[in-house]
Amino acid sequence: MRRRVMLAGAGLAAPMLFGLRPAAAQPRNASWPRALTMGTAAPGGTYALYGPAWGQLAQEATGVNISYRTTQGPNQNIVLVQRREVEMGMVTMGVALQAWNGQGEWTQGNRFRDIRAMFPMYDTPFHGIALKSSGITNHAQLAGKNVGIGPRGGTPGTYYPLMLNHLGYRPAALRFGSAADMAGQLQDRLLDAFVFASGVPVPAFAEIEVQADVNYLDFTADEIQKLTQQFPELAAGTLPMGTYRKQERPLNIVGMYNFAIVHRSMPEDLVYEMTKSVLGQNARLRQAIAAASETLAENWTKNTFLPFHPGAARYLREVGQRVPDNLIER
């Protein structure tokens, strides 16, 4: 029987994460909507925890009730925000670039031009995990194996097939599903490895290593060079010792940044207050989610193409960030 990986905090309401008092029953500005919905992602990844954490800060600051919709990740979040089925979401910038230009099979040639950047979140490193008993220690050994890569509409589900193909590594099968489901299948040996991209430590990875001896899979210098040349939206980086408890060395990775997004029609003063509530309370956000250590105003520079919502740009400029006029658009 499959052992389900239980993700600490994944099912908790944000007030329990923070110990915050409930938000006001009425928006603090009568012109604001009474309620908003945020697209997050399936349990096992960082979005499922990070979204309610920053949403609770925004709710407390504005009095606007924020609810959460579980999605497949950045791709679906972009589609839902574009259609105004949700007002907010979270994306990686590689997927956002595909959406903006109408590239990538999932866009079907459509350009998603009604999404706006709100604030930088954290880097998303691509890396993998395998049970130590499998003998798998690197990506090249994934050839001929059964590999889990997370939800089809998520960043790893979008990019990992392209990356492995470019490197010439051909798994026997790529399987899609929530990170929690992939983790359960790995422990039941239905998968040989699970590769993913999320804020670190990836909750599902951290839970697996509690229950089993594992190897973490990173990239060689040659692999990193090939990937960053083919996919310029990727950047090289390192996961230091201590990112995971059973990590045996620093991990060499490629990654891309995450941003919160909103629909362009959102009121400017509301987006300003929400952005301020998150970036102005980083210490509180870090209490709920470790990845928030990178949720800093100065990291707006990780976005070079997606227009900032005017409300977000107003706050960033207010705290000394030089967001150019050509990167601000209603």
CA atoms within 13 A on the CB side of 74: 29
Q: At the topology level of CATH, where does 124-256 sit?
A: D-Maltodextrin-Binding Protein; domain 2 (3.40.190)
- Percent of the chain's residues with pLDDT above 70: 92
**pLDDT 10s digits, 143-196:** 999 999 999 888 999 999 999 999 999 999 999 999 999 999 999 999 999 999
Is the fold of 14-123+257-327 the same as that of 124-256? yes
Per-domain residue ranges for the chain?
A: 14-123+257-327, 124-256
Provide the pLDDT for residue 3. Answer: 37
| Residue among 217, 162, 165 nearest 191 (CA) | 217
Which pLDDT belongs to residue 8? 34
Average pLDDT score, the chain: 92
- How far apart, in whole angstroms, are the C-alpha atoms of residue 122 and residue 197? 12
Q: Is the pLDDT of residue 214 over 80?
A: yes
Give me the pLDDT at residue 18, please.
55
pLDDT of residue 76: 96
User: Which residue would you say has higher pLDDT here, 294 or 18?
Assistant: 294
Residue 41 DSSP symbol: -
CB burial of residue 63 (10 Å; 0-12, 13-18, 19+): middle
Percent of residues in the chain assigned helix, strand, coil, to nearest 5: 40, 20, 40
Domain 14-123+257-327 in CATH 3.40.190.10? The answer is: yes
* pLDDT in the model for residue 25: 58
pTM: 0.81
Mean pLDDT calculated for residue range 195-217: 95
5-20: average pLDDT: 41
Average pLDDT over residues 291-310: 95
Greater model confidence, 5 or 265:
265
Q: Which residue has the tokens 């102005």?
A: 280
pLDDT tens-digit readout, 42-55: 888 899 999 999 99
Residue for token pair 């997927």: 95
The predicted model gives 259-282 an average pLDDT of 98
Question: Per residue in 98-149, pLDDT tens?
Answer: 999 999 899 999 999 999 999 999 999 999 999 999 999 999 999 999 999 9
**Band of pLDDT at residue 219, cut at 50, 70 and 90:** very high
| pLDDT level of residue 30 (50, 70, 90 thresholds) | very high
**Core vs surface per residue 15-37: b (16+ CB within 10 A) or e:** eebbebeebeeebeeeebeeebb
DSSP assignment letter at 45 = B
